[in-house]
Structures are given as structure tokens and as C-alpha cells.
């Protein structure tokens, strides 16, 4: 019994705490669950790669409140996200869409990897095609001189 309680305490301590304040929590558990799920996908404009659900910044709190207001007003998940993106830009999305100017960013990594692979393949092909140069043979004069030096 004590071990189970200790295990539960350790697991609760290891879980992410989040920054949602008690006064932000919606009374409807279903709406609150939606708000938490959506806020985990939104980036805090102040913090680097931290969701508004985890951030303690004031602007993150404001975004959490706006998101909850939109959900209470009856917006769908997509409408609530679009409302926030319209005001803050696509930067607030932790997983930006793969269209428009973002498409360049999505394709740049694989394109650079492909270009690097192509360059490496061409280099290795050229290197293996050259082979080892044939060893030079000694001329008669050099062979006699070498024999003289070795006999001494």
C-alpha cells in the first residue's frame, strides 16, 4: 500500500506541471480538455519552443484566456486556432502548416540532404574510377645506381 502511494507520488512529480492557473480552468471538463489540447500546440510568442500551456509568460496567459473565450463562445477547434493565428501569425503554431512560404522550410532539409548525398556519390564515383596509379619502374641507370648503393 505504501509502495503504491510512493509510486503515485513519484509519477505525479514527473508529470509536466503546466502553467495553467486555477482561475483559468473552465468549469466544463470537456471544454477544458479541448483548451488544454489546443494550447499544447500553440507556441508562446515570448518563450522559445515552449507551448502556451507550459509557459509562465504574461502573453501566454493572455493567449490561454483568449483560447478559452473562443471555445466558450462556441468556436470549433480550427476556428479558435485560426483566430489566434490571424492575430499572431503562423509563428504561434508549434507544427506550422506545409504550404505557402513554410513549404520552402519543410522542403529545405530533405533537399539539402539529397544534394549532400549526390555530391558524396559523385565524389566516391570519381575517386573509385581513378584507381591507383601504376607504379613507376626504374630505368637501367637508376637500377645500377640502387644496386651500387645497396652493395656498400
Please give the Cα distance from 152 to 142 (Å, whole number): 16
7 has pLDDT over 50? yes
Please give the Cα distance from 148 to 93 (Å, whole number): 82
Tell me if 93 sits within 8 A of 85, measured CB to CB: yes
CATH 1.10.8.640 fits 13-92, yes or no: yes
Contacts of 17 (CB under 8 A, 6+ apart): none
55 has pLDDT over 70? yes
* Boundaries of every domain in the chain: 13-92
Q: What is the pLDDT of residue 10?
A: 45
Please give the Cα distance from 57 to 63 (Å, whole number): 10
Mean pLDDT in residue range 64-81:
90
pTM for the structure as a whole: 0.57
Q: What is the pLDDT of residue 79?
A: 92
Q: What is the pLDDT of residue 1?
A: 59
91 has pLDDT over 90? no
Q: What is the mean pLDDT of the chain?
A: 81
Please give the Cα distance from 143 to 124 (Å, whole number): 37
24 has pLDDT over 60? yes
Amino acid at each position: 500500500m505504501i509502495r503504491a502511494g510512493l509510486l503515485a507520488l513519484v509519477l505525479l512529480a514527473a508529470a509536466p506541471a503546466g502553467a495553467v492557473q486555477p482561475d483559468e480552468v473552465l468549469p466544463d471538463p470537456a471544454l477544458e480538455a479541448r483548451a488544454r489540447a489546443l494550447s499544447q500546440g500553440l507556441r508562446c510568442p515570448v518563450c522559445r519552443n515552449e507551448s502556451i500551456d507550459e509557459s509562465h509568460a504574461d502573453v501566454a496567459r493572455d493567449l490561454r484566456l483568449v483560447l478559452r473565450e473562443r471555445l466558450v463562445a462556441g468556436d470549433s477547434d480550427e476556428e479558435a486556432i485560426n483566430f489566434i493565428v490571424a492575430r499572431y501569425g503562423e509563428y504561434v503554431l508549434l507544427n506550422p502548416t506545409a504550404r505557402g512560404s513554410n513549404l520552402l522550410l519543410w522542403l529545405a532539409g530533405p533537399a539539402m540532404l539529397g544534394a549532400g548525398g549526390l555530391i558524396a556519390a559523385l565524389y566516391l564515383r570519381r575517386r573509385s574510377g581513378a584507381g591507383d596509379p601504376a607504379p613507376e619502374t626504374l630505368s637501367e641507370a637508376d637500377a645500377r645506381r640502387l644496386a651500387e648503393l645497396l652493395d656498400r
